[in-house]
């Protein structure tokens, strides 16, 4: 407690980006870190003789994934009534944490919120958290040796671009207390992602979704080391696939970010499209670690 009070008197500003990101974990599993951790950050911000501004890194997953008919979600759209449309413990825990953040903002605490889309590798170094869902799914597909013949889009943003955008936005006096949506103007298609994996040298068979899913189930029963086995709950059943196009969780709802992009333009910050070369840098990094 003594150290807590000493730090509370010395710290000028707080950046809170710590969270447990496990898509297979329940809300109760993630609550101690994602919710109670945020609660402690807010308590710390209000401790001592001066209030400390908080820059909170949230996620676009706090928005419900209903249908394309759901109204667009703007930076200032309230998340108050969206809990019932959230998928998984991570989105639920971040939603509750952000509700705490918004309550603190209403009570006068200067809080700036940043909601990025899916964060991927460093654009130049190839570094990426290999426990991330997309990273694990990618490595799992390479291990399985096949891909489902489906289409879909991901909104991906390199981690270094996210970091730079947050730092630069946070240094502007007139951005304090606002919310920003950090997304890529150029989504990455699943077809391009698979083509880039093949261009790196991997031979991947393309199967109809039902055949690929059956192969995945069979391999999971025979191989306890199969990476995709831990992600089974996130793959739709063959009966749920009506055509080749799959809308992934988090992309059914339209996300608006004109205010954010205008701010970034004024600061000279551009979020680059994810490229084949970036993915190859990640794959090279993985191979070097083996």
Q: How confident is the model at residue 243 (pLDDT cuts 50, 70, 90)?
A: low
Q: Is 66's pLDDT higher than 70?
A: no
- Ramachandran sector of residue 88 (left: φ over 0; alpha: ψ -120 to 50; beta: rest): left
Average pLDDT score, the chain: 90
Across the range 99-128, mean pLDDT stands at: 96
* CATH top class, domain 9-191+246-289: alpha beta
E strands of the chain, at which residues? 14-16, 54-57, 111-116, 118-120, 146-148, 153-154, 156-158, 179-182, 188-189, 205-207
Tens-place pLDDT, residues 26-63: 999 999 999 999 999 999 999 988 899 999 999 998 98
Q: Where are the domains of the chain?
A: 9-191+246-289
Closest CA to 227 of 135, 290, 106: 135
Residue partners of 238: CB distance under 8 A and separation at least 6: 209, 210, 213, 214
pLDDT at residue 67 in the model: 55
- Label the pairing between strands 153-154 and 188-189: antiparallel
Q: Look-up: residue for tokens 């908080």?
A: 54
Q: Is 249's pLDDT higher than 50?
A: no
Q: For every residue of 19-57, which 3-state class applies, written as one string? A: CCCCCCCCHHHHHHHHHHHHHHHHHHHHCCCCCCCEEEE
Of 70-84, 146-160, 194-208, highest mean pLDDT: 194-208
pLDDT at residue 152 in the model: 84
Q: Look-up: residue for tokens 């970091």?
A: 163
Q: How confident is the model at residue 186 (pLDDT cuts 50, 70, 90)?
A: very high
Query: Is the whole model's pTM more than 0.85, yes or no?
Result: yes
Q: Is 166's pLDDT higher than 80?
A: yes
173 class by beta-carbon count within 10 Å (0-12 exposed, 13-18 middle, 19+ buried): exposed
Q: How confident is the model at residue 248 (pLDDT cuts 50, 70, 90)?
A: low
**Separation CA 172–CA 178 (nearest Å):** 11
């Amino acid at each position: 407690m003594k150290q807590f009070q000493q730090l509370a008197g010395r710290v000028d500003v707080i950046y809170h980006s710590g969270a447990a990101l496990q898509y297979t974990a329940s809300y109760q599993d993630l609550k101690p870190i994602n919710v109670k951790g945020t609660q402690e950050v807010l308590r710390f911000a209000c401790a001592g003789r001066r209030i400390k501004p908080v820059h909170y890194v949230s996620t676009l997953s706090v928005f419900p994934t209903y249908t394309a008919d759901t109204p667009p979600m703007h930076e200032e759209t309230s998340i108050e009534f969206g809990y019932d449309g959230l998928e998984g413990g991570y989105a639920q825990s971040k939603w509750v944490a952000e509700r705490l953040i918004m309550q603190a903002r209403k009570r006068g605490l200067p809080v700036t919120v940043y909601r990025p889309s899916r964060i991927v590798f460093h654009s130049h170094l190839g570094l990426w958290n290999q426990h991330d869902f997309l990273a694990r799914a990618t490595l799992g597909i390479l291990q399985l040796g096949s891909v489902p013949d489906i289409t879909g889009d991901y909104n991906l943003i390199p981690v270094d671009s996210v970091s730079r955008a947050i730092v630069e936005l946070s240094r502007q006096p007139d951005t304090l207390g606002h919310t920003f949506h950090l997304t890529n103007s150029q989504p990455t298609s699943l077809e391009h992602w698979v083509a880039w994996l093949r261009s790196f040298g991997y031979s991947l068979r393309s199967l109809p979704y039902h055949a690929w899913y059956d192969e995945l189930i069979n391999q999971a029963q025979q191989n306890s080391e199969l990476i995709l086995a831990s992600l089974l709950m996130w793959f739709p059943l063959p009966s749920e696939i009506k055509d080749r196009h799959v809308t992934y969780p988090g992309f059914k709802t339209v996300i608006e970010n004109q205010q954010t992009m205008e701010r970034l333009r004024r600061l000279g910050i551009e979020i680059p499209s994810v490229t084949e070369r970036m993915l190859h840098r990640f794959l090279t990094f993985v191979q070097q670690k083996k």
